[in-house]
Amino acid sequence: MKTLIEFINEKQADFPFATGELTRLLNDIGIAAKIVNREINKAGLADILGFEGSTNVQGEDQKKLDVFANDQFIKALKNGGQCCAIASEENDELITFDSELSNKGKYVVAMDPLDGSSNIEVNVSIGTIFSVYRRISEPGSCGTNADLLQPGTEMVAAGYVIYGSSTMLVYSTGNGVNGFTLDPSVGLFLLSHPEIKIPENGSIYSINEANYIHFPEGVKEYIRFCQEDDPDSGRPYTTRYIGSLVADFHRNLLRGGIYMYPGTKKRKDGKLRLLYECNPIGFLAEQAGGKASDGFRRTLGIKPESLHQRTPFFVGSSEMVEKAEYFMHYYSKDFKS
């Protein structure tokens, strides 16, 4: 059985000039993920141990899990010294470090420390999403917003951790996608899903259909297409929607499917954030042979303008995303008028 650390080190050997910094950064993320996982597993005990603001039996202050996860990942990245700045869903402003070590770091990270917040307290899968870029500012000073506002095509690594029936870390450095399952008995991530490929087509569509009346016509028509009775082409498809992007994407990655969070007339950019939700998930989809789009253009090609920018999102099996894009194009005039 190969561990995450062995695997990452082995991959580093494929790049003769690699300095080991990205390797160390990914290791740090893996360690923080284990600490967050331990805390998430105790979530059901919140009533016994106390909620945020109260004090637990050990006399420690309780924090909300998303705040806890944010703190852990920031701490790990800060202490590691490879990362000079972080954009996090939990922080309005860019996080920089007042430390010589971190300011020398070559990388910046965009992350959603605990995604799927509505599922945290009800024992449903949640996740951490991260992406890594090479800084464009000169090393030796604090990272800048410009370091983070690079298009997804510049990403050097991305991944997610899913805290579910088992905990997994899935990541890519631009050379395929690999998945590791945490063996809690020894506390190690073990390579369980090597070279993940998403099926070209699938039979699952994932969308919050409660928003149906607000969807653009293209999405409504695509949903109708998914529901059509056409046994020869495997339709009607089936709906699966957890409301945790990581969990919905993870299932579709392994089984084949499409996840959609479109814009609406009121919220034309939808809900999900480009930097730390859509880009990393889109990168993984592409690395596994799938696609990610805003309905009209490749997600990774979008030039970000702000850290918390939103974008409509269609991701998953390539044929399904292409079909959804076809409907979006076809009905776009209606939507825009």
3 binds, among ligand AHM, Mg ion, none (CB under 5 to 8 A by kind): none
Q: Which stretch binds Mg ion (CB under 5 A): 12-20, 41-49, 113-121, 138-146?
A: 113-121
Q: Residues binding ligand AHM: what is the number (CB under 6 A)? A: 12
Nearest position to Mg ion, beta carbon: 115
Q: Least Å distance between CB 134 and ligand AHM? A: 26
The residue type at 258: I
Question: Can you tell me which of 115, 221, 248, 286 binds Mg ion, judged by CB under 5 A?
Answer: 115
Tell me the sheet residues that pair with 87.
Answer: 110
- Residue from 161, 223, 245, 274 in contact with ligand AHM (CB under 6 A): 245
Hey, how many other C-beta atoms are within 10 angstroms of the C-beta on 211? 16
Q: Does the protein bind ligand AHM through residue 117 (CB under 6 A)?
A: yes
Binder of residue 271, out of ligand AHM, Mg ion, none (CB less than 5 to 8 A by kind):
ligand AHM
238 interacts with, out of Mg ion, ligand AHM, none, CB within 5 to 8 A per kind: none
Distance CA 129, CA 115 (A): 7
CB of 153 to ligand AHM, least distance (A): 23
Closest residue by Cα to residue 293 from 266, 263, 335, 265: 263
Answer for which of 151, 176, 236, 243 binds ligand AHM (CB under 6 A) is: 243
Q: In what order do the strands lie in the sheet with 291-293?
A: 238-239, 204-206, 258-261, 313-316, 291-293
Coil, strand or helix at 302? coil
- Binding segment (CB under 5 A) for Mg ion, from list 71-79, 111-119, 131-139, 285-293: 111-119
User: What is the gyration radius of the CA atoms in the chain, in angstroms?
Assistant: 20
**For residues 182-211, which are near ligand AHM according to CB under 6 A?**
208
Tokens of 56: 């637990």
Q: Quickly count helices (H) and strands (E) in the chain.
A: 11, 13
Residues 6+ apart with CB under 8 A from 181: 166, 167, 168, 189, 190, 192, 193
Residues 6+ apart with CB under 8 A from 41: none
- Joined tokens for residue 236: 């009607």
> What whole-number distance in Å separates Cα of residue 291 and Cα of residue 115?
21
Output 90 or 221, the one with its CB closest to Mg ion.
90
Q: What is the closest distance, in whole angstroms, from the C-beta atom of residue 216 to Mg ion in the complex?
A: 22
Residue 116 found at the interface with ligand AHM (CB under 6 A): yes
Task: Give the dihedral of Cα atoms 72, 79, 191, 14; nearest 10 deg.
Answer: 150
User: Helix or strand or coil: residue 10?
Assistant: helix
C-beta of 22 vs 281, nearer to ligand AHM: 281
Stretch binding ligand AHM (CB under 6 A), from 79-87, 165-173, 194-202, 244-252: 244-252
Taking the mean position of all CA atoms in its chain, how far away is CA 173?
14
Give the residue with the Cβ less far from Mg ion, 126 or 188: 126
CA distances from 71 to 79, 93, 120, 228, 279 (A): 12, 15, 17, 47, 22
Which lies closer to ligand AHM via its Cβ, residue 135 or residue 220? 220
Return the range that interacts with ligand AHM (CB under 6 A); candidates 3-11, 91-99, 111-119, 212-220.
111-119
- CB of 277 vs Mg ion, minimal distance in Å: 5
Contact call for residues 119 and 163 (beta carbons, < 8 A)? no
Whether the CB-CB separation of 77 and 88 falls below 8 Å is answered with no
Cβ at position 265, least distance to ligand AHM in Å: 16
Contact flag: residue 112 with Mg ion (CB under 5 A): yes
**Where do contacts with Mg ion occur on this chain (CB under 5 A)?**
112, 115
**Where do contacts with ligand AHM occur on this chain (CB under 6 A)?**
89, 112, 115-118, 208, 243-245, 248, 271
